[in-house]
Amino acid sequence: MRRLTALLAGLIFGLGLLLAGMSNPAKVLGFLDLGGAWDPSLALVMASAIGVALLPFTWARRQQRSLLDAPMQLPQKRELDRRLIGGSLLFGIGWGIAGICPGPALTLLLGGYWQSLLFVLAMLGGMWLFTALERRRTH
Amino acid sequence: MVIDWAHFTPWTALAGGALIGLAASLFVVLNGRIAGISGLLGSLLQRGTDGRDEKALFLLGLLAAPLLWSLFGALPEIEFQTGWPGLVLAGLLVGLGTRYGSGCTSGHGVCGISRLSPRSLVATLAFMASGFATVFVLRHLWGG
């Protein structure tokens, strides 16, 4: 059952990205371009998503188990450290260069665009680099 | 600041955002998991990850969404504005940055803010700020 709900949630998420315009890099860059003609649409995407998710997440925070009896796995870290801020700043630079973040990169992958294939390969490379650097640090 | 009214699409933005919020809610309420794309993808690349099947199926749903969409109509407009060197650099930075920062637009921006996490709020402010700054530099200083 949880496999089915995972697949369904992923599908709805992807349809949402497509409908919202998040999967159009030109539109994302139009949102990030405060200094030019600014398209505020994506601020509404975020506000709407948070508005819908706020109550369910408030409920989830107080539970030990999910409705389908899985352990509730919410992040426990609290500290605002250099990794969090530095990593997020780097991510933002990449987002600003191409207008693509990880979700839309995957929704675009089967659309037949060479650009999305190249981006996803580079993104996987970046994630692999992280894992390799972490392994080196802890050994 | 000049608003680009010609490209402003409030209704599809609100409706698409609501679907994203619904999907994230379903995943946490039913599966007890955070719908953070970089986190799901990154953890599948590592050894010893729990719940591989659920994570992979969520991502499979994401991949399949445009195929389902195209059964009912034409896909929305998709336009890339970056050449291959930029795409490679951007992909590397997004992959590396989201793993160091423990999340992206979905994990921090939607799920994290919805559960009122200070870490996610700070991360979201950081990547939005550097995203705005990067586009400003590339469009108005570098090329301008």
Are A99 and B35 in contact (CB < 8 Å)?
no
A59 contacts in chain B (CB < 8 Å): 29
Percentage of chain A exceeding pLDDT 90: 91
Instruction: Give the model's confidence band at A80: pLDDT under 50 very low, under 70 low, under 90 confident, else very high.
Output: very high
Under 8 Å CB pairs connecting chains A and B tally to 489
B18 contacts in chain A (CB < 8 Å): 16, 48-49, 51-52
Question: How far apart are the CA of A139 and the nearest CA of chain B, in angstroms?
Answer: 16
- CB-CB contact of B92 with A125 (8 Å): yes
CA R_g for chain B: 17
Cα separation of B64 and A14, whole Å?
8
Question: How far apart are the CA of B94 and the nearest CA of chain A, in angstroms?
Answer: 4
Are A52 and B25 in contact (CB < 8 Å)?
yes
Alpha helical stretches, state H, chain B: 10-31, 37-44, 52-72, 84-100, 113-114, 118-136
Q: Print pLDDT tens along chain B (144 aa).
A: 799 999 999 999 999 999 999 999 999 999 999 999 999 999 998 887 889 999 999 999 999 999 999 999 999 999 999 999 999 999 999 999 999 999 999 999 999 999 999 999 999 999 999 999 999 999 999 865
Question: In this predicted structure, what is the pLDDT of residue A111?
Answer: 84
Assigned domain for B3 exists: no
Assigned domain for B111 exists: yes
- CB-CB contact of A74 with A65 (8 Å): no
Over the stretch B59-81, which tens digit does the pLDDT of each residue have?
999 999 999 999 999 999 999 99
Domain that holds residue B125: 9-72+83-142
> Averaged over A105-116, what is the pLDDT?
93
Distance of alpha carbon B4 from its chain centroid, rounded?
22
Q: Which of B54, B62, B64 sits opposite A103 (nearest CB)?
A: B62
Assigned domain for B95 exists: yes
Question: In this predicted structure, what is the pLDDT of residue B143?
Answer: 67
Domain count, chain B: 1
Question: How far apart are the CA of A63 and the nearest CA of chain B, in angstroms?
Answer: 9
- The larger pLDDT score, comparing residue A131 to residue B47, is at A131
Are B106 and A103 in contact (CB < 8 Å)?
yes
